Amino acid sequence: MSQLLHGIAASSGIAIAPAFLLVGSDLSIKQKHSDDENHEVARLHDSFVLTQKELTAISQHAHQSLGARAAAVVDAQLKMLNDYPLQQEVETQITNNHETAEYALQQVADEQMNLLSRLDDNDYLHSRATAIQDVYKRMLAHLLKVKLPTPADLNHRAIFVAKNITPTDMAQFDRRFVAGLVTNEGGRTSHFTIMSKTLSLPAVVGTGNATDQIHDGDLVIVDGIHGKVIVRPTDGEVDHYQRMAGEFAREQAAWGALRNEQTVSTDGRHFQVVANVGTTADMTDYQQSGAEGIGLVRSEFLYVNQSKLPTEEQQLQAYKRFLTGVHEQRVVVRTMDIGGDKQIGGLSLPHEDNPFLGFRAIRIGLARPETLRPQLRALLRASVYGRLAIMFPMIATVEEFKRAREILDEEKRKLREENVPVASNIEVGMMLEIPSAAVMADVFARDVDFFSIGSNDLIQYLFAADRGNRNVSYLYQELHPAVLRTVKKVIDAAHAEGKWVSMCGEMASNPLATPLLMGMGLDEFSMNGSSILHIRSLINSLNTRQLQPLIHKALRASSAQEVQQLVKRYVPKVD
């Protein structure tokens, strides 16, 4: 009899193949002390050298077989490994506390992971956390003389089943053999989720116990469309999913035809479907995504895990690449959105018990304008290379936005006095993610050029629930009427002042939310590249006027479940 596992549909598609378990060894460490500090430091250096050789070989394979995107993460790991302050920090732990190399390394690793867990919850920082964890794991394995499992051992077509999949696991994939992915952990924002979409690998993540329920060699069906995993399927189930795989392939081909078309509803309403990007390496995928611009550049990739703040020139070159890579389409750059309890990019920040509600994002920029001004100057200088929009994150009050814009205007004036060209058509807006700003959206709309609704944080703050906390994650409800009412209030307020509204959180790529956002008048949907053609196809098939009865009932509903049922009744194709 077959067994059904449920998880998150992280990358669409159907795969049928035997399972290959990628389960690692136990690397847990108990506190140990050593009287021979020199010996422990030498062991630490050996682990750095061995890990460097290992990652260099993996990077070379990734460049040759998988392309720049897969290799970029491994290259970033190598850069981090060679960062002298990192080695020095572990050595200090050894010499000051007389600890073994592995225990000192574990302590530093825990501090780094704790820092990243307190930063803004987005794809880029999730991938950074996974990459850092992978580097430390490899060093620990060398110190403990433990062999890690590797995808390179696979020599036949199979579905990888693992607790989690690291960037270096992905970089070692042989595309001839990897049919799909199933994991215990992870979510839509995990690095391997993003990469699985890039590589067109069906994936179901967050199953909880797949590695306990699936054995090596078991026939497995991965339904990356509905988030299902069928273990040891019947002949009838295999036949059903083979037909579904054929239908999906035909659908994918039809979506591809949309790349050179506009996104227009059947009643003539134009929408923009644009991309979220985290690094300049993402521009490779952008070209194939069918995006109509960039709705969010997460500029914090220039700051996180760097030993010092990026210079104005370094930032200029990065922003220039984004702007020149989109063929005159709009690029929205979010200013530095970081915060936490430890040194970040050479910036000393206070320890905080609740950094998500603390000193972060624009609050840092306004309190320490010397961190914000170089970024704004770089953006202004880059503006002549394309169509730039600048977005300030974590705005809570009108005064904050006005002060941020004043600083921008001051830097613009200085540049012009220096005879440095600056574009005259730069749009300046804000990320709307704090409930107080949503309540005051009509007032903000007088001053901003646009809103970008950050649905991830907005929903968390509306329900006072951390979606990363399993105990309360059930409260993260994108379709809840409270969310819909808040979004509609923001859209209506912006349109009353002739301003446009985007959404750049996970909700923007949720097909169940698409008819609701269309009907409420959202102007722009911003998402990961792999979802763009699907959402564009869905928008092109819907009529905004015919969606109004759905909107009316959804806003009056009492629960997310009721809204979901309404959407499926009015728009059966999203089921």
- Side chain identity at residue 253, one-letter code: A
Structure tokens at 376: 């704004």
CA distance 573 to 537: 11
Contact 193, 186 (CB under 8 A): yes
- Side chain identity at residue 83, one-letter code: D
Which residue intervals of 147-218 are DSSP H helices?
A: 167-171, 191-198, 210-213
Which residues of 463-512 form beta strands (DSSP E)?
500-503
Nearest to 486 by CA among 423, 434, 540: 434
Secondary element (H or E) of residue 432: strand 427-432
Q: 474: exposed, middle or buried (C-beta count within 10 Å: 0-12, 13-18, 19+)?
A: exposed
- Side chain identity at residue 490, one-letter code: V
* Residue among 61, 126, 142, 191 flagged as catalytic: 191
Strand partners, 31: none
Nearest to 482 by CA among 503, 514, 501, 460: 460
Place of tokens 């696991």: 169
Place of tokens 């950074």: 128
Catalytic status, residue 6: no
Sheet of 8-11: strands edge to edge? 3-6, 228-231, 219-223, 14-21, 158-162, 178-183, 203-205, 8-11
Which residues, other chains included, contact 542 with Cβ-Cβ below 8 Å and sequence gap of 6+? 265, 266, 514, 515, 518, 571
Structure tokens at 225: 């469309």
* Residue among 61, 126, 142, 504 flagged as catalytic: 504
CA distance 49 to 82: 10
CA distance 68 to 37: 40
Cα-Cα-Cα-Cα dihedral sign, residues 141, 146, 149, 155: positive
Nearest to 135 by CA among 168, 104, 161: 168
CA distance 173 to 196: 11
Catalytic status, residue 191: yes
Strand partners, 452: 431, 502
Residues tagged active-site? 191, 504
